[in-house]
Amino acid sequence: MGVVNITPDSFSDGGRFFDAAAALAQARALAAAGADILDIGGESTRPFADSVPLEEELRRVIPVIETLAVEIGLPISIDTYKAPVARAALEAGASVINDISALRFDPDMAELAAAQQVPVILMHMQGTPRNMQVEPRYDDLLGEIKDFFQERLEYAASRGISRDLIVLDPGIGFGKTFKHNLEILNHLDAFSDLGCPLLVGPSRKAFIGHILGLPNGEVRDIGTLAALGMAVLKGAKIVRTHNAAYARQFFTVWEAIRMTT
C-alpha cells in the first residue's frame, strides 16, 4: 500500500504533496514502482495534529481520486474517519475505507461500509491524534489491542459488515510508546487467530528515527524495510509504505529466497 498524503503538515514528507498536481505525480510514481494499493488521505493524523474541516478534506482528496480512478488500474483506499468523505471518495472511484478510528468517530461510517460492501481497515488507536502520544499506557498491550479488535469486529458484524471485508491494523505509532511499537511488530502473530488480514504501517515513524538517530522523512526509508520485513514474517498481509520502490525490491528478493528449494 503506497501512501499519498495530501496535507501541508505530514510528518513523513513535510507537505510535499499538498498540491493536487504533486499528489497525482506521487501516486503515479508509487504505482509505477509497484504499489498494489494507493492510500489517499487529506488530514494529517500525526501526533498532536488538529482536525481538518470537512469541506477542506473533500477539496483535497476528491479531485485526486477522480483522476487516479480513471488513469490507474489499482484499488484506491480513502484514509478518513469521516463518513461524508468516505462516501464521496467511493463515488469518485475509491474502493476501500481506511478508518483510523475503527468506526468509532463517525456513527454513519459503519452504515456506509455495510451499504457499499467495500473492504474496511479498522485500526487500533488509544485516544485521538491530538492526545494519543500523551503518556500512552497499557496493562497488557497485546491483550488490550486484541480485546479492542474483538469488540470492533462484533460491532461491525452487528451493523451488517461482513467479516470477510475487514482488515485489522494494530496502529503502530497511534497511542504507542517506542517499546510498544517494537513489541507489536515482534508479536504481530498474536492477532492471527482473529481471522482477518493484518495491515501494518511502520513507514518513517518515530521509533525508526529513535533507533537510528535520524530526523523525519525519507532518511528513514531503509530502516523502514526492517520493520516491513518483520511485519510480514509475523503475519502481515498488507504493508503501508511511503517508498514503494524500496519495498517492492526488498520483497521481490525476499520472495525469491523464500521460494528457492
Task: Look at the block and give the residue holding cell 468506526.
Answer: 103
| CB 155, CB 120: distance < 8 Å | no
Please confirm, yes or no, whether 146 is among the known catalytic residues. no
Task: Look at the block and give the residue holding cell 518483520.
Answer: 230
Set of cell numbers at residue 153? 469486529
Q: How far apart are the C-alpha atoms of 238 and 259, rounded to whole Å?
A: 19
Q: How far apart are the C-alpha atoms of 211 and 228, rounded to whole Å?
A: 15
Q: Which of 87, 205, 220, 234 is catalytic?
A: 205
Q: Nearest to residue 241, comparing CAs of 15, 29, 7, 21?
A: 29
Please confirm, yes or no, whether 258 is among the known catalytic residues. no
| CB 39, CB 240: distance < 8 Å | yes
Q: How far apart are the C-alpha atoms of 125 and 148, rounded to whole Å?
A: 9
CA 158, 172, 223: angle at the middle one, nearest 5?
145
* Chain centre distance of CA 213: 24
SS3 of 10-65: the string is CCCCCCCCCCHHHHHHHHHHHHHHCCCCEEEECCCCCCCCCCCCHHHHHHHHHHHH
Catalytic (active-site) positions: 205, 240
